[in-house]
Structure 1
Amino acid sequence: MSVDGATGGRETGPAALERVDVVDAELVEDDETPAGGAVEAYDPVAAILAALDTKAAKDLHEARPRKTKTGYARDWALWGEFHAWLAERTGTLLPLSSITVGTYVAFVKWLDEVVEAAPNSIERRVTGVASEARRRGYEVPKAARAAATQALKPLKLDKERQQRGRGKAAAITPADLRKMNTAPLERPPQEGARRHRALVVPELARLRDRSLHTLRFAVAGRNEEMSALDDTDIRLVAEGLEVHVPSVKGRPPRDVPVAYGESADTCAVRCWIAWQQAKLTAGAEPDGPAYLPVDQWGNLGTGRLSADGCGRAITRSAKHAGLTGRRITGHSGRRGLVTTGRRKGKRPEKLRSQGGWAKNSPVFWEYVDEGEKWEDNATEGIGL
């Protein structure tokens, strides 16, 4: 086995383990070295065991179904979002390897109170983060996992929390978009929330959300597709926008035309132009991600807005606009384009192409039926 740097290039261990790589620990400051500047003795047994653990984690990861690996990758991205959120409040960005009782319990509370995830979803995400952390060679203390499990127990007993995420996403309409896009910037504190003062939404965040919601509706975009969009995928032409929706999760890409809307508040073209100008003025790199994070103080982030961030944005805007009683999620725009389009007489093949549904997609035809349910209704005009 070759141990880079730690043994001066010497070979140790049986020949059968030649392909197992041993990674050095990170360098430490001088005051963290053993007393007197002594160098700790190299332990070949510990090195081999550590290498085997790393190799096993890699093999187990490769053996997992693609859907599981994708889910765990999203869990790790959420772990990063949590750290960014925590840094905004503490002024210090912790390393992603800092998995402790404190960070794990805080992660559970963040998923519950900020993301508003269902308890079962939180439990799965905690597992996904642990799996991804081990694959990256980070330690996941048993005490941290136990503390997260303990923090989850009361959440699982809460019936309202158990209902989160259940049921199909409701379709939104242009009227719903107008309510979301014209809601006041000052949002009153929620009942029971720890924050007792009104939240004022930064203008930059408002412009981002207006564009995100209207373009999502226009292209029937999924959360992952909206997150993956770059500026170069959206081209302004005389008739409106030509949008190249990139391939995500193995789905084929598609090119979608978006015409100018009738109202400035719901026109995806004008909302995109306003957001594009605002983010470039705020210092965004040209030809970068189409949608970027904006914190509560109006500071523009540099990284791409995540898929989960895209989904939370529309749910948050709908809640603030008073669109309660329906489950509005990132999928609501896809459903809404089809149901609204059919009510306005748009051809199914046009709608199907816009959203990238397969010809035999049962979900798509379910949306078509929903949009047509009052057309030539079975009980109308039959003498009742």
Structure 2
Amino acid sequence: MTELAPYQPSAAPAAYDPATLAVLAAMEQAAEEHLDAIRPENTKRGYANDWRLWEEFHGWLAERTGHQLPLTAVTKGTLVGFVVWLDTIKLAAPNSIDRRITGVTVTARAEGVEVPKAATEAARKALKPLLADPDRLARGRGKAPAATLQQLQQMADAAPASLTGIRDRALWLMAFGMAGRSSEVAALRTDGIGLVGKGLDVHVPSVKGLPARKVRVAYGKNPDTCPVRAWLTWKAAAGLTDGPAFRPISVHGQLGTDGLTASGCQEIISRSAERAGLAVRLTGHSMRSGFITTARQAGKREEKIRAQSGHAANSPVFWGYIQEADAWTDAASEDIGL
């Protein structure tokens, strides 16, 4: 029997000549264009949203480190940090986080960024225990809890007397009082908040393509939860005259010059609720839905509430809040002789 000799590779191939390299590069480009052309539109939109979250994460990270990393820094550390941020700050469901990892990776590679395999493996390793948590898996299946006046009082009682505590209380009370989205609260300008006889005239800037609007935030009867007094106290303590209304504060108490991001505002609200020992986790949207529910229960007209929140007249979300607030108003089972 003839013995099989082990394979002996020939000499290493010569480096590709310029013409071959040009053809290969053209084929690579054609492949990317073809894959992009057959990719479903909803997938493309999803990847675009994933990348916007990646940008927001980098802004949040810059607030805490004092240094803005390039968006092309898709590394083991940044991807794992992205997973933790999505879980703890954005309260994203694990399956959603999994898709975000893919979206960021695909988008980065399409831009010519080399994403190490070790980075994506580490990100999914960080994700793995989240996929086994029933509470996390339930995220996204229901609305954020609406903040109540009692919860606002508890948060006010727990707020520290430091500059950070003064800012935090003013921020979430303003968010509640204006029925604002976190992105709108982040975009507020000091010179866009004017003191008038009955409270504050607040110019809410246009964000995410939504029209700008002016809202009225009235004085509250309770000094602890009055958004007007809280804003004036914060403005005086921080020495604000213009620029962003709400700004980061360093661990040493130094006030920043840039405005907080939307995620930064959400984090402050969630942290304040946690500090107060609330049984539910409030989010940025809790202030907005809480205002609508509370105002309706106080008898405010629908058109007035919509003008404050900026909802469209036919918004199913808005009418869902109204129905919830009216649930026990002349309930069908009430006073029927049972």
The amino acid of 1:81's aligned partner reads W
Q: Which residue of 2 aligns with 1:19?
A: none
**Which of 109, 117, 122 is equivalent to 1:147?**
122
Aligned-residue offset at 1:132: 5.3
Q: Which residue of 1 aligns with 2:268?
A: 313
Q: Kindly report the root-mean-square deviation, in angstroms, between the aligned alpha carbons of the 2 structures.
A: 3.2
Q: What is the DSSP-based 3-state SS (H/G/I as helix, E as strand, rest coil) of the residue aligned with 1:182?
A: helix
**Which of 58, 61, 64 is equivalent to 1:79?**
58
Q: What is the DSSP-based 3-state SS (H/G/I as helix, E as strand, rest coil) of the residue aligned with 1:241?
A: strand
TM-score by length of 2: 0.80
Matches within 5 A, 1:1-384: 45=21, 49=25, 69-82=48-61, 84-85=63-64, 87=65, 95-112=70-87, 116-131=91-106, 133-134=108-109, 138-183=113-158, 185=160, 203-280=162-239, 286-324=241-279, 326-384=280-338
The amino acid of 1:260's aligned partner reads Y
Distance 1:49 1:290, change over 3 A: farther
Distance 2:81 2:298 in 1: 47
Q: What is the DSSP-based 3-state SS (H/G/I as helix, E as strand, rest coil) of the residue aligned with 2:295?
A: helix
Distance 1:115 1:82, change over 3 A: farther
Aligned-residue offset at 1:141: 2.0
The amino acid of 2:260's aligned partner reads L
Task: Confirm or deny: 8 A CA contact 1:229 1:290 kept in the other structure.
Answer: yes
Aligned-residue offset at 1:74: 2.8
Query: Number of matched residues?
Result: 314
The amino acid of 1:321's aligned partner reads A
Q: How far does the alpha carbon of each residue in 1:63-122 deviate from its partner, in whole angstroms, 9 at most, with x for none? A: 88667535522322213423554x37xxx8755543322332344345445665432333
The amino acid of 1:357's aligned partner reads H
Higher RCO, 1 vs 2 (CA within 8 Å, ≥6 residues apart): 2
Distance 2:85 2:261 in 1: 16
Distance 1:381 1:157, change over 3 A: closer
Task: Confirm or deny: 8 A CA contact 2:60 2:263 kept in the other structure.
Answer: no
The amino acid of 1:254's aligned partner reads R
Task: Confirm or deny: 8 A CA contact 1:254 1:356 kept in the other structure.
Answer: yes
More helix by share: 2
Aligned-residue offset at 1:130: 3.2
Aligned-residue offset at 1:260: 1.1
Q: What is the DSSP-based 3-state SS (H/G/I as helix, E as strand, rest coil) of the residue aligned with 2:224?
A: coil
Distance 1:80 1:216, change over 3 A: closer
Distance 2:79 2:45 in 1: 26
The amino acid of 2:115's aligned partner reads V
Task: Confirm or deny: 8 A CA contact 1:76 1:129 kept in the other structure.
Answer: no
Q: How far does the alpha carbon of each residue in 1:135-188 deviate from its partner, in whole angstroms, 9 at most, with x for none? A: 665432233122212322222122233234441111112221111122053xxx
TM-score by length of 1: 0.71
Distance 1:181 1:309 in 2: 19
Distance 1:132 1:226 in 2: 30
Gap regions ≥5 residues in structure 2: 1-17
Distance 1:49 1:276 in 2: 57
Distance 1:115 1:177, change over 3 A: same
The amino acid of 2:129's aligned partner reads P
Gap regions ≥5 residues in structure 1: 1-42, 186-201
The amino acid of 1:293's aligned partner reads P
Distance 1:297 1:373, change over 3 A: same
The amino acid of 1:242's aligned partner reads D
Task: Confirm or deny: 8 A CA contact 1:76 1:128 kept in the other structure.
Answer: no
Distance 1:343 1:236 in 2: 27
Distance 2:185 2:81 in 1: 28
Aligned-residue offset at 1:373: 1.9
